[in-house]
């Protein structure tokens, strides 16, 4: 594989870097110090990218995409990560948006896609339940027909940032006949204006209200908000999870974190030099950089296949496993680089803990879950065994 960039791609990188250099002052300050960005700041960045026409690089041009090739899309994500730009919510742009483009009706595309692009409507995902996480097909949220509506009763959990969302896409059980995967439908529900839906945020070990419980009590959802055929939601869910797992791998984010770690090590005295001069520490950085380079090549192949119209296959599971495990190792290395300062927290006074180090412990804790969400890594190994090794179910 030729890893040299073409002249037009080098020009594109410079264009992106010039754009990022003009980031608003409040966002630029947070980016420099690897801060956590709140919902308002994230949506501010969303609108900036939307105004530039760069909000949905992976969408077809006719629906608001950029028309970039795979290389430009990869380089754009890489530059965003290097700059520590706010991470946009994936639920509209990366998940339900592409799903609607592929499976939605013309009316659904016209209704939802423009507001996903503009950020006027924020989405969350309703998949996991208290007893249906890794075994998603065991979900129990009921959707019973009544007139032109479905009546939803049940619970979802780990609903990421549902308290900030306007809409939720859910998998619900519309039939109990046949295999459990066959009785599931894909529904879109209005969180703000539907009676009977209640969102209850809870704290993570990272100290953020990232997750919520979402309760449905006789919540009425129009049948025209079903995407695809009734009882046909499982196939769509698998396609959507393939895109999610590729994104969860966090390759570009890991590269940004390695850059941040080097900054910390360069400013950490050790003997007559700095931590970055320590051979054992440099070996750990080098090992992670080599692994990231290998994984990024797999990611590029996956993106290239997607550009040719092929949905993510087992490679999305490979990227999810290796990417998330590497991401965790990198945040562990960041904690090691901080030494006793790793005990600090995001509200630690600046005179005690530098601004660029305040969110590392929080992120380290939060990312303990990345090998679980999006389908646990253990389940992904089963997927690989079935699809690549052709082992029986």
What residues are annotated to the active site? 244
| DSSP at 14 | H
Q: In the chain, what is the straight-line distance between the N-terminal and C-terminal CA atoms, in Å? A: 35
Coil/strand/helix, residue 189: strand
Radius of gyration of the chain (CA): 22
Contact 299, 326 (CB under 8 A): no
Contacts of 329 (CB under 8 A, 6+ apart): 288
CA angle 140, 142, 144 (to 5 degrees): 155
Contact between 143 and 216 under an 8 Å Cβ cutoff? The reply is no
Q: How many C-beta atoms lie closer than 10 Å to residue 325's C-beta?
A: 16
Any long-range contacts for 140-146 (C-beta under 8 Å, 24+ apart)? 140/173, 141/170, 141/171, 141/172, 141/173, 141/216, 142/172, 142/173, 143/172, 143/173, 143/174, 143/185, 143/187, 143/221, 144/174, 145/174, 145/223, 146/220
Alpha helices in 339-391 (DSSP H): 360-366, 377-387
Question: Greatest CA separation found in the chain?
Answer: 77
Map residue 246 onto helix, strand or coil: helix
* Residue position matching structure tokens 């994936």: 90
d(CA 82, CA 53): 20
Task: Return the number of other C-beta atoms located less than 10 Å from residue 200's C-beta.
Answer: 14
Question: What is the spatial distance between Cα 189 and Cα 96, in angstroms, rounded to a whole number?
Answer: 12
């Amino acid at each position: 594989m030729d890893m040299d960039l073409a002249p037009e791609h080098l020009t594109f990188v410079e264009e992106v870097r010039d754009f990022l250099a003009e980031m608003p002052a409040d966002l630029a300050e947070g980016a420099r110090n690897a801060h956590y960005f709140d919902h308002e700041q994230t949506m501010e960045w969303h609108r900036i990218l939307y105004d530039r026409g760069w909000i949905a690089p992976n969408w077809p041009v006719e629906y608001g995409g950029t028309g970039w090739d795979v290389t430009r899309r990869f380089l754009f994500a890489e530059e965003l990560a290097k700059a520590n730009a706010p991470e946009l919510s994936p639920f509209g742009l990366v998940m339900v948006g592409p799903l609607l483009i592929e499976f939605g009706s013309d009316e659904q595309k016209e209704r939802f896609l423009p507001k996903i692009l503009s950020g006027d409507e924020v989405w969350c995902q309703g998949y996991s339940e208290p007893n249906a996480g890794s075994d998603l097909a065991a979900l129990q949220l009921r959707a019973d027909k009544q007139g032109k509506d479905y009546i939803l009763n049940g619970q979802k959990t780990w609903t990421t940032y549902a308290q900030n969302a306007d809409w939720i896409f859910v998998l619900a059980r519309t039939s109990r006949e046949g295999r459990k995967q066959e009785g599931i439908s894909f529904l879109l529900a209005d969180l703000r204006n539907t009676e009977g839906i209640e969102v209850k945020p809870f704290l993570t070990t990272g100290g953020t209200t990232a997750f919520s419980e979402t309760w449905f009590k006789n919540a009425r959802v129009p049948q025209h908000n079903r995407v695809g055929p009734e009882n046909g939601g499982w196939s769509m869910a698998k396609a959507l999870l393939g895109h999610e797992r590729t994104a969860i791998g966090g390759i570009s984010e890991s590269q940004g974190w390695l850059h941040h770690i080097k900054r910390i090590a360069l400013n950490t005295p050790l003997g007559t030099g700095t931590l970055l001069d320590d051979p054992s520490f440099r070996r750990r950085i080098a090992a992670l950089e080599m692994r990231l380079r290998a994984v990024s090549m797999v990611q590029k192949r996956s993106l290239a296949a997607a550009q040719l119209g092929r949905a993510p296959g087992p490679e999305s599971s490979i990227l999810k496993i290796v990417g998330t495990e590497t991401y965790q190792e990198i945040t562990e290395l960041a904690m090691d680089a901080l030494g006793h300062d790793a005990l600090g927290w995001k509200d630690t006074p600046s005179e005690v803990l530098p601004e660029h180090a305040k969110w590392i412990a929080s992120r380290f804790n939060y990312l303990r879950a990345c090998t679980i969400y999006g389908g646990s890594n253990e389940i992904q190994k089963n997927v690989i065994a079935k699809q690549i090794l052709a082992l029986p179910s």
